[in-house]
Amino acid sequence: MPRTTIKDVASEAAVSIATVSAVVNDADWVSAPTRDRVQATIDRLGYRPNRVARTMRTRRGDAVGVIVSDLTNPYFAEVVRGLQHRLREHGRSLLLADTNQQFEEGGRQFDLLLDKQVDGFVFFGDSVPESVLAAHVRRRSRVPIVTVGRDYGLRGVATVLANAETAAFDAVSHLAERGYRRIAHVTGPVAEFGATTHGASPRLAGYRRALAEAGLDAPDEYVVHGDWRAEGGAVAAVDLLSLPQRPDAVFCGNDLMAFGLMRAARVAGLDVPTDLAVVGFDDVPTAALVHPALTTCAMPKAALGHAAADLLQQLLDGGSDIPDSPVFLDAPLVVRASTPARA
Amino acid sequence: MPRTTIKDVASEAAVSIATVSAVVNDADWVSAPTRDRVQATIDRLGYRPNRVARTMRTRRGDAVGVIVSDLTNPYFAEVVRGLQHRLREHGRSLLLADTNQQFEEGGRQFDLLLDKQVDGFVFFGDSVPESVLAAHVRRRSRVPIVTVGRDYGLRGVATVLANAETAAFDAVSHLAERGYRRIAHVTGPVAEFGATTHGASPRLAGYRRALAEAGLDAPDEYVVHGDWRAEGGAVAAVDLLSLPQRPDAVFCGNDLMAFGLMRAARVAGLDVPTDLAVVGFDDVPTAALVHPALTTCAMPKAALGHAAADLLQQLLDGGSDIPDSPVFLDAPLVVRASTPARA
DNA sequence: TTGACAAGGTTAAACGTTTTACCTATCCTC
DNA sequence: GAGGATAGGTAAAACGTTTAACCTTGTCAA
């Protein structure tokens, strides 16, 4: 048996489908008696409007396309969750795609979602190639984009960011204050830097600035590339620990890599934090639970999601223009056991 | 400027829209010359079919509705990811809703997704009330449902499960073998049991069976309820450790609760694993990274996602009927440092 | 030579909404 | 009592596809 449609309601209630539509979208011109009658039959028949038809006719639905590079990373999961909840409050739903850290996949998913008439987009981190974004804004599409966690520096896309440079600065300064002298850094994959000229790793920049201000020096080998995952952190650990001048502290670009690095260091016979202090980035839930508990920059995950949702909603309401500078949120350092004061 | 539509292509290529449609869906009757001509104009104009219109006409799209109770739990995140990838291979995309562990929200989301004409559903764990599912099958809807990780015991919904009872049995037997005598269990929230008569916690059942077979006994207070999150584990720890006869090992219903419990135990001055051995369930990535590394039942997360996707695809192809017994996957125990042999 | 049939198209009707333009009373104003 | 307004509604055209039904040709067998 097919779903009951607006026609069914109309004929049952002995009105035109236009009237039913008016009742559903509560237009102001329907008289009270008819409105009640129609509403009653709607309830009786259990009629629910077909959103697909509605979307097709109005060319605007309630869906937002979300593309994320690695849903498995609790950081992303938490931001997506915050996003979803706030979108829900705006009456919107969420089409999710995970690119598994593959750029071209991001482009494909983007096209697919466009075909599905999503009203807007939210992109996380390194999920979609800059070229795709650029092409989209060049096309002057009516479909707004909000990127979170990364600044593509494109006029035409809105951005929500944590103040990563400052956070990184604080983290590394903290290490310096606690007496660490040889501070290394695990950053993102190399590919990332090729992909954009803009804001090439704020974390790296903050790291450098903090070192400079503390009067510390670090050889080039102290900056190694990871893949944002625990595995990459472990590999980085091997690289760093085989250096002639072994670092006494590492600032990792995210918590997952910090976890991997801590474990690898322990496997290599070092004690964390005595032989090697570690700082992470993100403050995923488990950061407080590992041993030693991880000092890290607390990304405002839910808040990022909320901000992205609100920003997108504003753009969709048409009220506001795309802000030409990103929205910034703070990522305060939370100090835990992995960075004790140096003896 | 509006998107180019099938009409544009038709008039440009001097054919009817039916022919364009035929080319797009590569029907067999179009002659080679026209096919090429049409394809050429499609490429030139950059035409991409509007999926919404297509869905509306054919009453079947490519979207699958996915409802999950807590995306923040890496276990779910990983299964969702596996699901998404396999669905993608089947040419399908994924509408995601996170209920934040709230049942009624699951029901609402379910209705919403139905209105959006999803082709099928995948439900995770405790995301949707049984009543909603039951009503849906009673309605003999054409929209199939696959539940993963929980057996509602309803004819009419397909199910993918890990063999949790066996896994739990193995885990607890392992503890017994290693010499632990007072083994406690942290299970899910109470509400869960009210919600369904069926399969009330296979993990609990496995725990009981293992105890029985090992000739061990456990007071009722040894089974406490958690909320599947680290916080719940911590609360459970407090309860268990204040018992007159303190347990010497705990089998936790999932890893997150195990993390919380380990931390709380340490805060209470106990050493893990010397004073208290801990076993988790799921094998989330961080389980190997915490200290001590957590012994746990390795849920086949990606495989569960894949199986769910494949099963759903089968049902959608109409080829097969709903299997009347669940698909079972194994969840082998992986032994790590949190459960050393008792001195 | 005819008629059947196939190959290759086209026309037009759906799909379930929203929305514009148009009706028809009734009431008010002058 | 003619001429608006106004209130409350309807008819029908969209939106962009797919698809069933219907047209042309040309070919080939009888």
More confident residue, B238 or B2: B238
Identify the CA nearest to A163 among candidates A199, A193, A202: A202
Contacts with B, A 217-236, CB within 8 Å: 230
Statement: residue A198 has pLDDT above 70: no
pLDDT tens digits along B30-82: 999 999 999 999 999 999 999 999 999 999 999 999 999 999 999 999 999 99
Provide, for chain B, the percentages of residues in helix, strand and coil under a 3-state DSSP scheme, each rounded to the nearest 5.
Answer: 45, 15, 40
pLDDT tens digits along A210-259: 999 999 999 999 999 999 999 999 999 999 999 999 999 999 999 999 99
What is the 8-class DSSP label of residue A140? T
Mean pLDDT of chain B: 93
Chain B contact for A266, CB < 8 A?
yes
Contact B93 A81 (CB under 8 A): no
Nearest residue to nucleotide D12, by CA–C1' distance, is A18
User: Considering Cα of A192, then A194, then A197, then A201, what sign does the dihedral take?
Assistant: positive
In the prediction, which pLDDT does B174 show? 98
User: Token pair of B316, please?
Assistant: 């959608």
Distances (CA, A) of A234 to A230, A270, B75: 6, 13, 22
CA distance B72 to chain A (A): 5
Chain B contact for A18, CB < 8 A?
no
Hey, is A252 helix, strand or coil?
strand
Residues, chain A: 343
pLDDT mean over A326-341: 97
In the prediction, which pLDDT does B17 show? 97
Confidence of residue B202 (pLDDT cuts 50, 70, 90): very high
Statement: residue B125 has pLDDT above 60: yes
Are A70 and A101 in contact by the 8 Å Cβ rule? The answer is: yes
Statement: residue A132 has pLDDT above 80: yes
In the prediction, which pLDDT does B320 show? 74
Contacts with B, A 81-120, CB within 8 Å: 81, 84-85, 88, 93-98, 100, 111-117
Confidence of residue B322 (pLDDT cuts 50, 70, 90): confident
Contact list in A for residue B51 (CB cut-off 8 A) is: 115-117
Which residue has tokens 């994959």? Answer: A189
Mean pLDDT of chain A: 93
In the prediction, which pLDDT does A185 show? 98
Hey, is A54 helix, strand or coil?
helix
pLDDT mean over A165-178: 98
Statement: residue B172 has pLDDT above 60: yes
Q: H or E segment at B327?
A: strand B327-329
C-alpha B139/C-alpha A274 separation (Å) is 64
Chain A contact for B267, CB < 8 A?
no
Show Cβ contacts of residue A51 under 8 Å, excluding neighbours closer than 6 positions. Answer: A61, A62, B115, B116, B117
Contact B259 A80 (CB under 8 A): no
pLDDT mean over B119-145: 92
Contact list in B for residue A81 (CB cut-off 8 A) is: 71-72, 98, 100
User: Considering Cα of A12, then A17, then A22, then A24, what sign does the dihedral take?
Assistant: positive
Contact list in A for residue B53 (CB cut-off 8 A) is: 56
In the prediction, which pLDDT does A67 show? 96
pLDDT mean over A315-339: 91
Contact B56 A61 (CB under 8 A): no
Contact list in A for residue B230 (CB cut-off 8 A) is: 285-286, 289
Statement: residue B130 has pLDDT above 50: yes
pLDDT mean over B283-307: 95
- Comparing CB atoms, the residue among A49, A52, A77 nearest residue B56 is A52
In the prediction, which pLDDT does B40 show? 98
Q: Rg of the Cα trace of chain A?
A: 25
In the prediction, which pLDDT does A193 show? 43
In the prediction, which pLDDT does A319 show? 67
Distances (CA, A) of B62 to B56, B92, B137: 12, 5, 21
pLDDT mean over A16-28: 96
Are A167 and A332 in contact by the 8 Å Cβ rule? The answer is: yes
Show Cβ contacts of residue B70 under 8 Å, excluding neighbours closer than 6 positions. Answer: B76, B98, B99, B100, B101, B228, B229
Confidence of residue B317 (pLDDT cuts 50, 70, 90): confident
C-alpha A137/C-alpha A124 separation (Å) is 17
pTM of structure: 0.91
Quick one: what percent of chain A has pLDDT higher than 90? 85
Query: Which residues on neighbouring strands pair with residue B120, listed in sequence order?
Result: B64
Identify the CA nearest to B124 among candidates B298, B317, B309: B309
Identify the CA nearest to A226 among candidates A246, A245, A251, A194: A251
Identify the CA nearest to B332 among candidates B91, B187, B160, B171: B171
* B242 CA to D12 C1' distance (Å): 76
Show Cβ contacts of residue A39 under 8 Å, excluding neighbours closer than 6 positions. Answer: A23
In the prediction, which pLDDT does A194 show? 42
pLDDT mean over B297-324: 91
In the prediction, which pLDDT does A68 show? 94
Chain B contact for A11, CB < 8 A?
no
User: Token pair of B243, please?
Assistant: 């018992």
Count CA within 13 A, CB hemisphere, residue A127.
Answer: 26
From the candidates B72, B112, B254, which should be mutated to test the interface with A, based on the most A CB atoms within 10 A?
B72
CA distance A12 to chain B (A): 21
pLDDT mean over A158-178: 97
Which burial class, exposed, middle or buried, applies to A254 when counting CB atoms under 10 A from its CB (0-12, 13-18, 19+)?
buried
Statement: residue B1 has pLDDT above 80: no
Hey, is A4 helix, strand or coil?
coil
- How many CB atoms are closer than 10 A to CB B226? 27
- How many CB atoms are closer than 10 A to CB A58? 8
Contact list in B for residue A61 (CB cut-off 8 A) is: 52
Contact B51 A96 (CB under 8 A): no
Interface contacts A/B by beta carbons within 8 Å? 136
Confidence of residue A191 (pLDDT cuts 50, 70, 90): low
Contact list in A for residue B266 (CB cut-off 8 A) is: 291
Statement: residue B196 has pLDDT above 50: no
Provide, for chain A, the percentages of residues in helix, strand and coil under a 3-state DSSP scheme, each rounded to the nearest 5.
Answer: 45, 15, 40
Statement: residue B319 has pLDDT above 90: no
Chain B contact for A290, CB < 8 A?
yes
Confidence of residue A192 (pLDDT cuts 50, 70, 90): low
CA distance B324 to chain A (A): 24
pLDDT mean over A29-46: 96
Statement: residue B133 has pLDDT above 50: yes
